[in-house]
Amino acid sequence: MAFTTAALLLPAACSAQSCPPAPRTVQGSQTAPLADVRWLAADALEGRAAGSEGGRCAAEYLGASFAAIGLEPAGSGGEWRQPFALRVGAEMAVANRLAVAGRTLELGRAWSPYGFAASGVIEGPLLYRGSGVARPGGERPVPVSGRIVVLEKETPGASGVYADPHFKATIASRQGARAEVANVIGLLPGSDPVLRDEVVIGGAHFDHLGRGGEGSRAAGSSEIYNSADDNASGTAAMLEVARRVSEGARPARSILFIAFDAEERGLLGSEHYVDEPVRPLARTVAMLNLDMVGRLGSGPLTVLGMGSATG
């Protein structure tokens, strides 16, 4: 099998556009989390899509909030940000070609490349992997390095990111198949001279879908997806945890607070952190991720991750 694709890789450009003024809050007050939610979900940030001006403003806001709380910058080069590349646009090339067993398939009818596909030419044996989504306790992954993985577009019984082709391609890429935005990271150093070398992570993603379109429930919509619940709520909760912990007795272990970008594009920010952690993963003892905690009401708090977190 052989195919060629062409895609456009664009940096997340920072323009001279100014960000809306940050709200005035009293650190540790009950109104601080709501003020954070209202600012992050404001129309001016246009849904905080990864690579957008609203996303850039949100990252700057989070860095400034971490600084006001008294955390230490723990991103790249002593900064708050941990940058990584993101493809934000693609163009169809006339030379796109897909051939299986010597037969060329018609572009646009029998197949079409995704916008997140890399440009290049590859050949190799096919490996069929069903839906491409592994379940805790299921069969061990088959080595895919050097092969072209074939996945079903649909995932029976799954919803959300687990049914997204971009997410599946990301997972396949991490296993060896080959196909600027930034996390924002703050550190609260631990008090124990030995245990401070271990870290607990508190995290939340701050990006969303922007103005709808691909990946949203209204593909043709241009309305702003303000995303107060997903995930301004989790981001605000993370900031409040950082405020409360920094005001009390210093914990024995260090705490990393990470605001992840590009979660809606396939968990790309968290994937980048796992690939390039600022503290060794072997000394990371736990991680609490806060996502969509703004509409609990009288309902129960759902805790996920039991299949991979023995603690």
* Phi, psi of 192, rounded to the nearest 5 degrees: -80, 130
- At residue 159, the pLDDT reads 56
Position with higher pLDDT, 17 vs 52: 52
Q: How confident is the model at residue 116 (pLDDT cuts 50, 70, 90)?
A: low
Q: Could you give the CA distance from residue 89 to residue 13 in angstroms, rounded to a whole number? A: 13
Q: State how far the Cα of 37 lies from the Cα of 46, in Å rounded to an integer.
A: 14
What's the chain's average pLDDT?
81
User: Average pLDDT of 276-292?
Assistant: 95
Q: Give the pLDDT of residue 2.
A: 41
Q: Identify the pLDDT of residue 170.
A: 59
* pLDDT score at 262: 94
121-135, 264-278, 291-305: lowest mean pLDDT where?
A: 121-135
- Tell me: pLDDT of 15 over 50: no
Contact criterion met (CB below 8 Å) for 17 and 53: yes
- Strand, helix or coil for residue 38: helix
**Domains assigned to the chain:** 2-8+88-174 (no CATH), 32-86+181-289 (3.40.630.10)
d(CA 177, CA 17): 39
pLDDT digits (tens, 9 = 90+) for 28-41: 566 788 999 999 99
String of DSSP letters for 234-246: HHHHHHHHHHHHH
Query: 215: exposed, middle or buried (C-beta count within 10 Å: 0-12, 13-18, 19+)?
Result: middle
CB 83 within 8 A of CB 278: no
State the pLDDT at residue 10.
Answer: 29
Higher pLDDT, 129 or 57: 57
**With contact defined as beta carbons under 8 Å apart, do 179 and 90 qualify?**
no
Q: Which of 45-54, 83-92, 160-169 has the lowest mean pLDDT?
A: 160-169
Q: Are the beta carbons of 248 and 255 closer than 8 angstroms?
A: no
Q: Is the pLDDT score of 4 beyond 60?
A: no
0.85 exceeded by the pTM? no
Which pLDDT belongs to residue 274? 96
Give residue 254's identity as a one-letter amino acid code.
Answer: S
Among 6-15, 149-158, 184-193, the range of highest mean pLDDT: 184-193
From 166, 174, 132, 167, select the one nearest 149 (Cα to Cα): 132
pLDDT tens for 129-172 read 776 666 555 555 667 777 787 877 666 665 555 556 666 565 55
